[in-house]
Amino acid sequence: MVEIGHQVDLKCVAPAGMPPPRVYWLRGNQVLQSDTDVLVTSEGHLLIGQARPQDTGNYTCVAENIAAKRMAPVSQIIVYVNGGWSPWSPWTDCRCSGATLSAGKQSTRTCSNPPPSNGGKSCQGISVRKTKDCVPCPQVEPARWSSWSEWSECSTDCTKIRKRQCISGNGGKKACSGKDVQSAPCSAEQCRSMELTRVREG
């Protein structure tokens, strides 16, 4: 792995041959052409002056003449980018969700200048700064399900049910995903017991 902007030097030693082999590089399956940032030297080495994200890829050195063609093992280049902080936002009022009053000021920044990529490090430090009189907002807890109740006795159609309750979070919203009642068939033994009970009662 190489950090963006750093130099990359890939060596390629071509085997001796007659006539002398032509040396070139592949990126993926495409022949690599020299440009202002990528250079294939007369010895066949590959130089990247300042690595860019688009230089990430698999590189293969190829030596070829009329008699043979040899390919070196693939060299992988991963150009990573370490994250950088955006500028601090303007100061805004500290206000909790649903509150009408505010106290203090706060400012934020994001790890987006640039964002980390290809295994680069995330930004170090705080993303929010506050004045001393900025009161922290209470942590919002979402609604949640209680534990399931015990299974009920078998009904006349040989099924049983169990229930659970939706417990409101501290935000006041009472919305749980899923059902509050679950049914299941009773076992064959339980069903036979139900039949015997009905016979005795009859």
User: Could you tell me if residue 172 is inside a domain?
Assistant: no
Q: Same domain for 86 and 74?
A: no
Strand-pairing partners, residue 23, are: 63
How does DSSP classify residue 4?
T
Q: Same domain for 59 and 98?
A: no
Q: Work out the percent of the chain whose per-residue pLDDT is above 70.
A: 90
Q: Same domain for 115 and 64?
A: no
Q: Same domain for 112 and 153?
A: no
User: Could you tell me if residue 14 is inside a domain?
Assistant: yes
Q: Same domain for 76 and 94?
A: no
How does DSSP classify residue 81?
B
CA atoms within 13 A on the CB side of 169: 11
Q: Same domain for 66 and 97?
A: no
Q: Same domain for 104 and 158?
A: no
Q: Kindly report the average pLDDT of the chain as a whole number.
A: 85
User: Could you tell me if residue 123 is inside a domain?
Assistant: yes
User: What are 194-199's contacts with CB under 8 Å, separation 24+?
Assistant: 194/154, 194/156, 194/158, 198/156
Helix residue ranges per DSSP H, the chain: 188-201
Q: Same domain for 67 and 101?
A: no
Q: How many domains, the chain?
A: 3
Q: Same domain for 7 and 74?
A: yes
From first to last of its 202 residues, the chain has per-residue pLDDT tens of 899 989 999 998 877 778 888 888 999 888 888 777 788 887 888 999 899 888 999 999 998 888 888 888 999 999 999 999 999 999 998 877 666 667 889 999 999 999 999 999 999 999 999 998 887 777 778 888 999 999 888 887 888 999 999 988 766 566 788 899 999 988 878 777 766 665 555 5
Radius of gyration over every alpha carbon of the chain, rounded to an integer in angstroms: 34
**pLDDT tens digits, residue range 76-111?**
999 999 999 999 999 998 877 666 667 889 999 999
Q: Which domain holds residue 124?
A: 82-134
> Domain boundary residue among 64, 80, 96?
80
d(CA 120, CA 182): 47
Supply the CATH number for residue 109's domain.
2.20.100.10
Overall pTM > 0.75:
no
User: Could you tell me if residue 19 is inside a domain?
Assistant: yes
Q: Same domain for 112 and 154?
A: no
Q: Is 67 in contact with 17 (CB distance < 8 Å)?
A: yes
The rounded Cα 191 to chain-centroid distance in angstroms is 50
The residue assigned the tokens 């206000």 is 95
The rounded Cα 49 to chain-centroid distance in angstroms is 31
Q: Same domain for 28 and 67?
A: yes
How does DSSP classify residue 13?
-
